[in-house]
Structure formats: C-alpha cells, structure tokens
C-alpha cells in the first residue's frame, strides 16, 4: 500500500522539495528551485493548491483517472482531495509554478466565505484549465506579485493584500475556464446529448423506481466528470443547472402520466423515484402552478 502523505501545512511541502517558507500559511512555489525531487507522491490535501505546469513533466491521477494535464495548464486542489503524482525522472528541470495556501489564511475574510464559488477546486478528470500564452502570462504575473508581497515581510497589511491577490488570481481562473467552456462547445454539446440520453434511460428502464430520484452525481459519474465541472459546463451551455434539467424531466413525465393514465398520484410519484407522494405534489405545484389532481381535472375537461 502506498504511503499517503497528509499535506496539512505549506511548510511540509516546502521541506519535501527543499524550498524556502517565507510565510507559514502561504507559499509561491517554483519547482525549478527545488533542491529535492519526489518521483512519486500520494497526497491527501489539507491545504489549497494551484499548479501551473509549463510543460509535460509529470502525470497526476485523481482517483483512477489521469488528469488532462499537458503543457500550459492549471489544476487546483482543495482540502480533502487525494491525488497521485508521478514525475518523469529523465527531466532535469521541473517547469512547474504554483501557490499553496492554508484555509486558516482565509478565516474571517470575504474570500473565506466565498471560496466554494470557485468550483474548479473540485474538478477532476479531463478538466484542467488549458491556457493561451496571454493567459499564462497573467497567471505567472499574479504569482510574481504574491511572491514579492511575501518577500516584503509580514506587517499589518500583509494578510489583507495576500488574500486580495489570491482572490484576483482565482477570478482570472474563473474567467479563463469560462472561455474554455466556450471553445469546447462542440464537446460540451456532445456531453449534453449523452446526458439527455442517460436521463431518458433512467426512467425508461425503471431505475428511478429501484434507486430513487436521479442525482447530479449519478450522471456526472456516468459521463466521467466531477459534479461541479459537469454543473458549470451545463449551466454555461444551456443556462440551466443539472438539477433544473432533472426537475424539468420529472415534471414532463409526471404531466404525461397524470393526463394519459389512470394511475394514482402516489403510483406516479413512486414510479418517478419520489420517496413520498407529497414531495412530487410540492414540486409540481411550484413548477406548474397547480396540484397534480387539479392538473388531471383540467386535462380531462379539455379532452
């Protein structure tokens, strides 16, 4: 069994690679300056990490999948994630830049409250951020500014400035990811088609009755995406979240069965995966404006 390294501090990472720690809660890393090499690491992250790989020097695995991580790409990790990194041992230089920061740095700040909006920290396979040369320069410049602030030494302004610079860096990443969603539109539309087919099959094959309501995670796993990446991609492509998509499908099927069969509302609810009929009634009233029974009466009058 591989030894899992619990990366709970910035200093531990720096010690393993022989890098200097200027601030115990944050570090800008340049692995070309590393005095030690780790050919294989199995990390369990207790800190946030963002890596910019300038060329293909290593492979990163998240779960059983290998990251879509070539030259000029960014990947991010959050506390609680586990990865495996294998270094290409024939390399003399490790052209990897990055930033590591501890959750404690963000405590009580607006970024600390909003860190969950940066959903790319939970992206998994085939989801790295591929940068244009101009975008790469912006990321590199952001890291240089943070490094300069660290070299300045700690004073009463340090924490505020460091957190602000991190937030700016993450906002740039959000912008670049949105650009990537647009440039990958053809791939995304293929994913949308596969999602719709899986959603239809879930109800056609009575999986809802067996397993309950379909979840976003179920479809993300089937499509080999993380739930966050899948949700962000779908939202960018269609304006709807996967949850909204699933709910629309549930209402569409409920309407068909209410108007086209004599099944009771309870039977319809259970066939769609609801644990309790009142949950269907509540969702139906919210989305359609009337109860399932009222909808049935209205449609029988028009028949």
What's the confidence (pLDDT) of residue 125?
A: 43
Nearest CA-CA partner of 251 in 227, 274, 218: 274
Q: What is residue 244's predicted lDDT score, i.e. its pLDDT?
A: 93
pLDDT of residue 63: 47
Q: What are the Cα distances from residue 167, in Å, to 78, 136, 214, 286?
A: 15, 17, 35, 37
Cα→Cα distances 192→185, 199, 227, Å:
10, 10, 14
Segments of the chain scoring below 50 in pLDDT: 1, 57, 62-65, 67-69, 125, 303
What is the number of other CB atoms lying within 10 angstroms of the CB of residue 70?
Answer: 11
What is the model's pLDDT at position 64?
45
Write down the pLDDT at residue 58: 52
Q: What is the CATH topology of the domain spanning 5-183?
A: Jelly Rolls (2.60.120)
> How many residues can be counted in the chain?
303
Q: Is the pTM of this model over 0.85?
A: no
Q: Which residues contact 136 (CB under 8 A, 6 or more apart)?
A: 52, 54, 72
Q: Which CATH architecture has domain 186-302?
A: Orthogonal Bundle (1.10)
For the chain, the domains span 5-183, 186-302
Residue pLDDT, tens place only, 78-105: 898 888 777 765 556 678 899 999 999 9
Q: What integer pLDDT is reported at residue 88 of this predicted model?
A: 63
Q: Name residue, tokens 């890098």.
A: 19
């Amino acid at each position: 069994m591989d030894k899992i390294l619990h990366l709970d501090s910035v200093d531990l990472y720096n010690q393993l690679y022989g890098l200097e720690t200027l601030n115990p809660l944050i570090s800008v890393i340049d692995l070309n300056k590393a005095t030690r090499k780790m050919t294989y690491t199995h990390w369990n992250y207790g800190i946030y990490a963002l890596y910019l790989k300038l060329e293909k020097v290593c492979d990163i695995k998240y779960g059983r999948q290998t990251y879509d991580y070539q030259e000029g790409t960014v990947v991010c990790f959050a506390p609680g994630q586990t990865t495996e990194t294998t270094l290409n041992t024939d390399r003399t230089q490790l052209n990897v830049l990055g930033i590591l920061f501890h959750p404690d740095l963000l405590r009580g700040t607006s970024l600390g409250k909003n860190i969950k909006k940066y959903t790319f920290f939970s992206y998994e396979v085939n989801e790295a951020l591929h940068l244009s040369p101009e975008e790469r320069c912006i990321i590199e410049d952001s890291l240089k500014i943070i490094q300069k602030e660290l070299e300045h030494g700690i004073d009463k302004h340090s924490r505020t400035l460091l957190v602000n610079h991190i937030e700016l860096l993450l906002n740039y990443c959000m912008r670049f990811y949105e650009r990537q969603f647009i440039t990958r539109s053809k791939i995304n539309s293929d994913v949308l088609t596969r999602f719709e087919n899986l959603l239809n099959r879930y109800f056609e094959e009575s999986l809802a009755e067996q397993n309950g309501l379909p979840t976003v995670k179920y479809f993300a796993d089937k499509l080999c995406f993380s739930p966050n990446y899948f949700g962000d991609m779908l939202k960018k492509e269609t304006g709807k979240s996967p949850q909204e998509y699933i709910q629309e499908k549930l209402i569409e099927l409920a309407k068909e069965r209410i108007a086209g069969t004599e099944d009771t509302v309870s039977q319809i609810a259970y066939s769609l995966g609801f644990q309790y009929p009142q949950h269907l009634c509540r969702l139906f009233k919210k989305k359609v404006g009337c109860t399932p029974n009222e909808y049935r009466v209205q449609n029988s009058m028009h028949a």
